[in-house]
């Protein structure tokens, strides 16, 4: 049983050629493909709520996951806390996630340009004009949506809280 679970998780973590083939198959079946992206360093309620709302916008949810080198450039040398393989496996374990793909760049614009999902989703802290890949998705007849984030949840705030508690105990 455990081997089957591990295989299922690994099957959801895709390369670009695998995902391109998968998207073509899904679209030929009339499935609406949704794409979102992020670091997802310490998975929390805000992430789960956001991702489940993104999944509701279509039939298949793909998550573009910043690779470790990208996270370091964006968030600093002490990040990510969890490496890309751990983060990808945790996301793949979510029942409403259909695929996870790593990307090395700071934004997923090139990846989105190649995948061309039907719906591109980001948090409402972004405007459509500032969402990487929005122009390409819209030009292809797709939609760009934003989702209101759950207040008070972020990996950075969790990390800061742990650091503060650790320093207080020292």
Structural domains of the chain, ranges and CATH numbers in brackets: 2-169 (3.40.50.620)
Nearest-angstrom CA–CA distance, 49 and 148: 10
pLDDT digits (tens, 9 = 90+) for 13-59: 999 999 999 999 999 999 999 999 999 998 989 999 999 999 999 99
pLDDT tens for the chain, 170 residues long, are 556 767 777 799 999 999 999 999 999 999 999 999 999 998 989 999 999 999 999 999 999 999 999 999 999 999 999 999 999 999 999 999 999 999 999 999 999 999 999 999 999 988 999 999 999 999 999 999 999 987 777 777 777 788 788 778 87
Angle between helix 84-92 and helix 2-12 axes, rounded to 10 deg: 110
Q: Please tell me what DSSP assigns to residue 142.
A: -
Say how far apart CA 73 and CA 79 lie, in whole Å.
9
Give 13's Cβ-side CA count (13 Å radius). 18
Closest CA to 58 of 142, 163, 151, 168: 142
CA–CA distance, 101 with 70 (Å, rounded to integer)? 14
Q: Is the peptide bond before 80 cis (omega within 30 degrees of 0)?
A: yes
């Amino acid at each position: 049983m455990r081997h089957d679970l591990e295989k299922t998780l690994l099957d959801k973590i895709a390369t670009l050629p695998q995902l391109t083939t998968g998207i073509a198959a899904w679209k030929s079946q009339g499935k609406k493909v949704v794409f979102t992206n992020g670091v997802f360093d310490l998975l929390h309620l805000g992430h789960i709520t956001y991702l489940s709302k993104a999944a509701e916008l279509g039939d298949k949810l793909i998550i573009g996951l910043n690779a470790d080198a990208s996270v370091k450039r964006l968030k600093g040398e002490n990040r990510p806390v969890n490496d890309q393989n751990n983060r990808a496996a945790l996301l793949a374990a979510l029942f409403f996630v259909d695929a996870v793909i790593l990307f090395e760049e700071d934004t997923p614009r090139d990846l989105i340009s190649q995948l061309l999902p039907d719906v591109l989703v980001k948090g409402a802290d972004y405007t459509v004009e500032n969402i990487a890949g929005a122009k390409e998705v819209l030009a292809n007849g797709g939609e760009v949506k934003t989702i209101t984030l759950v207040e008070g949840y972020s990996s950075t705030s969790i990390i800061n809280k742990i650091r503060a508690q650790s320093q207080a105990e020292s």
